[in-house]
Homo-oligomer: A and B are copies of this chain.
Amino acid sequence: MRYVLDIAYDGTGFAGWQRQPNAHTVQAELEAALSTALRQQTSCTGAGRTDAGVHARQLIVHFDHPEALPPRFFHSLNALLPATVSVNGLYRTADPDFHSRFHAVRRAYIYQIIRKKSPFYRDQATWVRHELDLAAMQAAAAVLPEYEDFASFCKAHGAHETTLCRMDAAFWQEEGDLLCFHIAANRFLRGMVRAIVGTLLEVGRGRRDIADFRRVIEARDRRAAGANAPPQGLFLTEVSYPEGSLIPLL
């Protein structure tokens, strides 16, 4: 049987999602907890990767187990996982071949900027000390969904088959002390959100105007864009599937 988990994690102390030799990763922690709870070696597959220091409020992960899950499996998993990782949902799949990565139809991210020093957001937002022109950043963000090819924001050795994405949201929102950039698309390229935010921050500082921002996108060359914004402001917030794919078990 294929099962699905909805997990969250604080990426601060992790070398990202993906299992790697000699590195502390979320996938390794989750597989260790699953293997203990299920009393057999169990591997899992996530809907996507996150880089070191990047967080997830919702990452969807699937794993296989030949039997029904043991009683209190959900609670055991949360007790076995470190405080930095939580399981928020448990599902079975309508389609036995459901795949968390290949079947995802939409992903959403938030990037958090904080404009004053705050001890409570030190690992979950990027403190920007310069003045930012929010209206200019908003106008630049609004042009993003007009485009399909985001090669300018794609890490060079990302080894993507294509640099095309269908973006359906890209906007800034003030939430208390935070300035949050919301972005959603069917897929994202490696490093894409951090490169977009880094370039939007150059617009916010008056170093680029909208025409220049469009030229960056149209260049289809990573060297045209700004530096990556730091990882700690980035959260994967949502991974979506066709309706009915996942059947709640709780």
Contacts and interface: CB of A to CB of B under 8 A. Distances in A.
Interface majority SS on A: helix, strand, loop or mixed?
mixed
Contacts of A78: 117
A20 interface: no
Interface in A115-138: 116-120, 122, 124
B8 A86 contact: no
A9 interface: yes
A88 interface: yes
Contact of A84 (B10, B84, B122): B122
By size class, the interface of chain A is 10 to 19
Contacts of A10: 119-120, 122
Given A78-B117, A88-B116, A116-B88, A83 B124 contact: no
A183 interface: no
The 9 A-B pairs with the shortest beta carbon distances in the complex, nearest first, are A10-B119, A86-B117, A83-B122, A84-B119, A78-B117, A9-B119, A86-B119, A8-B119, A86-B118
Interface of A: 8-10, 55, 57, 78, 83-88, 116-120, 122, 124
